[in-house]
């Protein structure tokens, strides 16, 4: 006890002036962090506000017909969003159909099959896929993937399905250039894989290992453990991860702009060029004015509402990773 | 542990069930092979993209790339020096604006707000902004800054990038602060330190590595963003004005414009730029991971 108080005296002698935090700083710090947190809210409100404000003239001019009309005539000032909306939904859906099984497969590989020394490097490689800029995916898609896709998939497939019912429409390439809806969907699938895979991996990791080990203990195969124990346990969270991937796919811009072909045309063929909301905004906004600009902002408004709903669902479904 | 359990019954056990065992074995095999192939596919695509960038970009890398400005249509040679510097300026501006706001907001969520209704709402909104389409942020800043200021500017570009970086920093700051044990804070408070001092001297210090990682990852995220710059900083083929008013040249938009151009030297520069930007971003991402891992080991 005595020793302790000696030390305090010594240290007091060495630093005679005790630094006090002023109450003003303490309160200021609290308000600064409070204010910064409110900025996050303000940004979201600002985005919604500007989209509605900017898109209002278009909504007023065309009413509900803006959503259902597929005419997009810049010169004639006739604007309808349907082609872009359909393109956005279709490309995102293709991305999910291709990307979700692959993502879940990667997550299962990382958590169940991978030897522990390989786990970290493989995880890093998959996560780095998310770090590659969108524009690089666009260049890869347009200059490398599209020509290969045209030569080795579109041309042979078109020859096979020509004249067949249904397939002859869906998989028929009028101009086998490699760009189009399916290419955009494939590129989007690759881009959303790291997001879905890493959340699914975290969710599978959180499942108590006793469950897994019990299942193996009664003689289940890995497939049965995955199918009957892991997936049901993680179920809702995986749907949340898929929704998050969907949100990303809906709003992805640059990569899609490179490979979708940017045509305002409704087509039943997956090989035909089309547009998405984001690609249309990226292509036309800088040259737009008046009603045209307003129509693009209205498109942005629709995109925001859709992604907001999807991401909000994702957020509600993914049980946040618990911290100890 | 997995591997021990994985080499399980089907091959070793006697087979009184005949066909049943066979189908189980087959389903298991298919799952394992498919999962391994999918993972290889992911790694393969990353490798393919990197090889493409090296193959197409390395030929275009010359000293001129780093010293000369972007060439006009139809002129020979040229570099992307102005775009590289412009990108550095815009990214720095974005991160300088975003870091204090993001760190303080993350601190609010982890230290002050915690489970309150406001904090829950902000956390929710932040997670949505984290994945919100970046092109919409470009539109927002266009209406907010470019229209009122009467033209494109580097400031608008910086703000657009900051808005993308803030959610990343908020999330990582909060997650890292939550990992700091409450007993450390209580110890500080017991010594009579006010809340702000406990946060700055104890929580921030303990979570430092993770917070730095968050800022680096945010930098990596915004360095390659193209869509929000299209309507804010636009682009420029000359050195930009020191006041950052008017178009500010930057790598992503330059790559976008040059890659689709009909001039051979433009395309070469686009590939060189794509190589530079991707390698920088991947390096930043790897460094961020290493910092965090080193901290965990210690």
**CB under 8 Å to A295, separation ≥6 — which residues?**
A55, A58, A62, A66, A79, A81
d(CA B95, CA B216): 9
In chain A, residues 189-208 whose CB comes closer than 8 Å to chain B: 190, 193-194, 197
In chain A, residues 83-142 whose CB comes closer than 8 Å to chain B: 101-102, 105-106, 108-110, 112-116, 122, 124-129, 131-140, 142
Instruction: Give the chain A residue nearest B232 (alpha carbons).
Output: A286
ipTM: 0.87
Strands A72-73 and A78-79, sheet pairing: antiparallel
Place of tokens 């949100």: A247
Mean pLDDT of A110-115: 90
Nearest CA distance, A226 vs chain B (angstrom): 9
Alpha carbon of B177 to those of B54, B202, B204: distances in Å? 39, 10, 7
* Contact criterion met (CB < 8 Å) for B24 and A307: no
Does residue A295 contact residue A122 with C-beta atoms inside 8 Å? no
Please give the backbone phi and psi of residue B120, each rounded to the nearest 5 degrees, phi first. Answer: -65, -45
Among A27, A184, A28, residue whose Cα is nearest residue A95: A184
- DSSP secondary structure, A10-33, as one string: HHHHHS-S-----HHHHHHHHHHH
Tokens of B28: 């298991």
Tell whether the model's pLDDT for residue B237 goes beyond 80.
Answer: no
Higher pLDDT, B31 or A267: B31
d(CA A275, CA B114): 43
Provide the pLDDT for residue A20. 67
Nearest CA distance, A165 vs chain B (angstrom): 32
Which pLDDT band, with edges at 50, 70 and 90, does B35 fall under?
A: very high
Place of tokens 């990197």: B50
* Contact criterion met (CB < 8 Å) for A139 and B255: yes
- Give the model confidence (pLDDT) of B122-158 as tens digits: 999 999 999 999 999 999 999 999 988 888 899 999 9
d(CA A123, CA A302): 35
Share of residues in chain B with pLDDT > 70 (%): 92
Q: Between A and B, how many residue pairs show a Cβ–Cβ distance under 8 A?
A: 277
Which pLDDT band, with edges at 50, 70 and 90, does B86 fall under?
A: very high
Q: Which of B107, B133, B171, B220 to mutate to test the interface with A (most CBs of A within 10 A)?
A: B133
Residues of chain B with C-beta less than 8 angstroms from the C-beta of A127: 285
- DSSP secondary structure, A181-230, as one string: HHHHHHHHHHHHHHHHHHHHHHHHHHS-HHHHHHHHHTT--HHHHIIIII
Does residue B157 contact residue B229 with C-beta atoms inside 8 Å? yes
CB atoms within 10 A of CB B125: 23
Query: Is A253 near chain B, with CB under 8 Å?
Result: yes
Which pLDDT band, with edges at 50, 70 and 90, does A175 fall under?
A: confident
């Amino acid at each position: 006890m005595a020793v302790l108080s000696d030390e305090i005296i010594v240290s007091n002698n060495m630093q005679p002036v005790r630094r006090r935090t002023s109450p003003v700083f303490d309160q200021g710090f609290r308000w600064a962090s409070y204010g910064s947190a409110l900025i996050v809210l303000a940004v979201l409100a600002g985005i919604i506000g500007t989209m509605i404000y900017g898109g209002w003239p278009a909504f007023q001019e065309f009413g509900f017909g803006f959503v259902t009309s597929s005419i997009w005539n810049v010169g004639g000032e006739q604007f309808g969003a349907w082609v872009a909306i359909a393109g956005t939904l279709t490309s995102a859906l293709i991305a999910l159909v291709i990307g979700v099984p692959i993502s879940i497969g990667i997550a299962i590989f990382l958590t169940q099959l991978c030897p522990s020394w390989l786990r970290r490097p493989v995880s890093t490689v998959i996560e780095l896929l998310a770090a590659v800029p969108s524009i690089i995916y666009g260049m890869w898609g347009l200059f490398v993937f599209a020509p290969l896709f045209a030569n080795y998939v579109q041309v042979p497939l078109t020859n096979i399905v020509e004249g067949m019912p249904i397939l002859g429409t869906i998989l028929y390439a009028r101009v086998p250039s490699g760009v189009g809806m399916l290419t955009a969907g494939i590129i989007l699938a690759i881009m959303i894989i790291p997001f879905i895979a890493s959340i699914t991996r975290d969710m599978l990791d959180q499942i108590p290992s006793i469950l897994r080990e019990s299942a193996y203990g009664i003689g289940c195969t890995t497939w049965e453990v995955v199918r009957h124990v892991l997936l049901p346990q993680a179920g809702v969270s995986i749907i949340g991860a898929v929704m998050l991937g969907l949100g990303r796919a809906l709003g992805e811009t640059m990569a899609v702009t490179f490979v979708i072909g940017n045509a305002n045309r409704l087509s039943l063929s997956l090989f035909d060029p089309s547009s998405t909301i984001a690609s249309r905004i990226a292509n036309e906004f800088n040259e737009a004015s008046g009603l045209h600009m307003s129509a693009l902002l209205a498109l942005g408004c629709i995109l925001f509402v859709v992604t907001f709903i999807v991401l909000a669902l994702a957020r509600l479904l993914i049980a946040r990773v618990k911290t100890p | 542990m997995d591997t021990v359990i994985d080499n399980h019954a089907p091959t070793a056990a006697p087979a009184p069930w005949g066909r049943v065992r066979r189908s189980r074995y087959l389903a298991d095999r298919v799952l394992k092979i498919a999962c391994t192939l999918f993972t290889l596919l992911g790694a393969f695509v990353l490798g393919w993209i990197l090889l493409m960038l090296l193959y197409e970009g390395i030929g275009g890398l010359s000293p001129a790339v780093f010293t000369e400005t972007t060439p006009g249509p139809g002129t020979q040679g040229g570099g992307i020096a102005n775009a590289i510097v412009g990108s550095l300026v815009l990214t720095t501006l974005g991160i300088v604006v975003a870091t204090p706001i993001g760190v303080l907001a993350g601190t609010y969520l982890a230290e002050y707000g915690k489970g309150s209704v406001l904090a829950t709402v902000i956390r929710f909104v932040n997670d949505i902004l984290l994945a919100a389409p970046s092109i919409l942020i470009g539109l927002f800043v266009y209406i907010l800054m470019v229209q009122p200021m009467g033209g494109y500017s580097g400031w608008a570009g910086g703000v657009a990038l900051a808005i993308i970086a803030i959610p990343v920093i908020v999330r990582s700051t909060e997650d890292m602060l939550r990992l700091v044990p409450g007993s450390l804070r209580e110890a500080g408070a017991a010594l009579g330190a006010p809340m702000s001092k406990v946060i700055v001297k104890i929580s921030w210090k303990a979570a430092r590595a993770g917070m730095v990682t968050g800022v680096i990852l945010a930098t990596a995220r915004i360095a390659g963003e193209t869509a929000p710059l299209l309507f804010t900083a636009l682009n420029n083929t000359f050195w930009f004005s020191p006041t950052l008013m008017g178009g500010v040249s930057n790598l992503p938009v330059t790559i976008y414009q040059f890659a689709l151009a009909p001039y051979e030297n433009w395309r070469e520069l686009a590939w060189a730029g794509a190589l530079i930007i991707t390698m920088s971003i991947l390096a930043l991402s790897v460094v961020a991971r290493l910092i965090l891992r080193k901290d965990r080991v210690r």
